[in-house]
Structure 1
Amino acid sequence: MTLTLGLLVVLVTVVGAAAQRMAGLGFALLVSPIMVLLLGGHSGVLLVNILGVVSSLLILPRVWRAVDWAMFRWLSAFAIVGSVVGAWLAQRLSADIMAVSVGTIVLLALSLSVIFTSERFTTEAKAPRAAAGLLSGLTNALAGVGGPAVSAYAVLTRWPQASFAATLQPYFVVTGAATIGAKLILDPAGLPAADWWFWAMLLGAIVGGIALGERLMRFVTTTAVRRFVIIMACAGAAATLARGLIGLLA
């Protein structure tokens, strides 16, 4: 991996970690499409899974008291199943198909979240929780993006923002770890080839991004952060989708 490519990955990681700290999610939405463009479908998604786990682990102590553990258990149980199935499917898809999958999943999930913002349902029903967890785990393994499914569920059920953002952190740790474990079992050589300094820079980027996000929380509203995440995610997803389609048609 070249220094220029490494620095681009680090920059994207800083922005994603800052968004994650401010809004509770957004890391994968921002980072996944760009990582796939830079590193390819399989390595890019696996790297997003790893960085997402690290980011959520570092944020979790700051939001521990607001976590809804009952909701976490329900979502996580079904997300693990989806993660394993998604990891198996990912090993059987080409890099171009993975790129198309990432772009399509992100764009579709964001569109559904916007379309259904006026609808409201109860959080008591168990089937929607199970469906949200299963779909989230599946998309996390295929595209490195597990947030949109549970985000749409939160919007539909009026899940309070503070509890939602906090609960997502242990949820992302569990689903990310399940996805990483399944992928490495199926393909032990799936990690991106990189020197030690690259991993050290990524860890520093996540810590720096979280610190930046905490500072920005004093000046930026959650609504503004979500709009920024949506705009950037749409742009990255569209570029990734185009890259995959060009590869398939070439």
Structure 2
Amino acid sequence: MVLAAIFGIVFLGACIQRVSGMGLGLVAAPILAITLGPVEGILVSNVLAVINASMTTAVRRHDVDWRQFAVISSVLVVGAVPAAWLLTVAATPVIFTVVGALLLAALGLSTFGQSRTPSTRTKIAPLIAGVAAGFMNTLAAVSAPALTVYAQATRWDQRSFSATLQPIFLVAGIISVLVKVLGGAANLDHTDVWVWPTGIAGMICGILIGSFLSTRVSTGIARKFALLVATAGAAVVLARGIIGLI
């Protein structure tokens, strides 16, 4: 049942990400955190996100804004290091609570703050977005909300933004895995070996179906569905954390 759940949630996330530019972390991370535990589940999500982003980057490379990618990616590690440290000092219920709360806050900001985000063109804006994305990706395997707020503030073209997210996700995932494994915050020593072929199979199927749907389903609908699933998952993670603290 666990492997079936992993296949299904990764399939759904990869499919939505192929259509809208984001989705694997949003959809899969909360469910994997519940299924495998907050530390191992997020690390597995990071690894799968790297594989998924590498494939999607190859498909959408011509639409990538490589200058924006370089600026944002240059500071991802600044946010990743403190997040990895937090994982070494916090108890499991605390991690569940923090991850759930951050996910809900980020999702709420990127959803309900969409029309209220002020326009900005300051040079520090992409750096702030990169640090926030690095922190969120390492702690919760979700960097898209922070980058979405930045895209809204800078009025970044959706096609270019969704394509540029892919190599950013790739670098963010690699950094998150390295800082956690090398820093002793997490490891995959006890991860069932069948998680990987199951997750990758779900991912490939999701990308293929997503490529078919990308010309038939609007980006807005796919994004709203991803946010709905992610919100439900984040709420469950938060509830588990609070119950554990009580």
> Which blocks of at least 5 consecutive residues in structure 2 are unaligned?
none
Q: 1:201 aligns with which of 186, 198, 206?
A: 198
Contact 1:43 1:192 (C-alpha < 8 Å) held by counterparts: no
Instruction: State the 1:195 CA deviation.
Output: 4.1
Q: What is the letter of the counterpart of residue 176 of structure 2?
A: T
Q: What is the letter of the counterpart of residue 197 of structure 2?
A: A
Aligned to 2:77: 80
SS at structure 1 position matched to 2:113:
helix
TM-score for the superposition, normalised by structure 2:
0.95
Aligned to 2:183: 186
Distance 1:197 1:98 in 2: 25
Q: What is the letter of the counterpart of residue 40 of structure 1?
A: G
SS at structure 2 position matched to 1:230:
helix
Contact 2:6 2:195 (C-alpha < 8 Å) held by counterparts: no
Q: Is 1:13 paired with 2:13?
A: no
SS at structure 1 position matched to 2:75:
helix
What is the percent sequence identity of the aligned residues? 36
Instruction: State the 1:203 CA deviation.
Output: 1.3
CA pair 229-189 structure 1, distance change in 2 beyond 3 A:
closer
Superposition pairs for residues 117-196 of structure 1, below 5 Å? 117-118=114-115, 119-122=117-120, 124-187=121-184, 190-191=187-188, 193-196=190-193
Choose 113-122 or 30-39, whichever is displaced more: 113-122
Instruction: State the 1:240 CA deviation.
Output: 0.7
1:11-60 deviation digits (Å, cap 9, x = unpaired): 11100111111111111111111111111111011011111111100111
Superposition pairs for residues 12-51 of structure 1, below 5 Å? 12-51=9-48
Question: Cα RMSD between the aligned structures?
Answer: 1.4
Q: What is the letter of the counterpart of residue 132 of structure 1?
A: A
Contact 1:16 1:27 (C-alpha < 8 Å) held by counterparts: yes
Distance 1:26 1:198 in 2: 19
1:223-250 deviation digits (Å, cap 9, x = unpaired): 101110111111110011001100110x
Instruction: State the 1:126 CA deviation.
Output: 1.2
Contact 1:28 1:144 (C-alpha < 8 Å) held by counterparts: yes
CA pair 108-222 structure 1, distance change in 2 beyond 3 A:
same
Q: Is 1:225 paired with 2:222?
A: yes
SS at structure 1 position matched to 2:194:
helix
Distance 1:195 1:106 in 2: 26
Aligned to 1:94: 91
Distance 2:140 2:219 in 1: 25
Aligned to 1:247: 244
Distance 2:5 2:38 in 1: 17
> Which blocks of at least 5 consecutive residues in structure 1 are unaligned?
none
Distance 2:40 2:193 in 1: 17
Could you list the structure 1 runs, at least 4 aligned residues long, displaced by more than 6 angstroms after superposition: none
Contact 2:84 2:185 (C-alpha < 8 Å) held by counterparts: no
CA pair 192-110 structure 1, distance change in 2 beyond 3 A:
farther
CA pair 245-192 structure 1, distance change in 2 beyond 3 A:
farther
Q: What is the letter of the counterpart of residue 87 of structure 2?
A: A
TM-score for the superposition, normalised by structure 1:
0.94
Distance 2:138 2:230 in 1: 18
SS at structure 2 position matched to 1:117:
coil
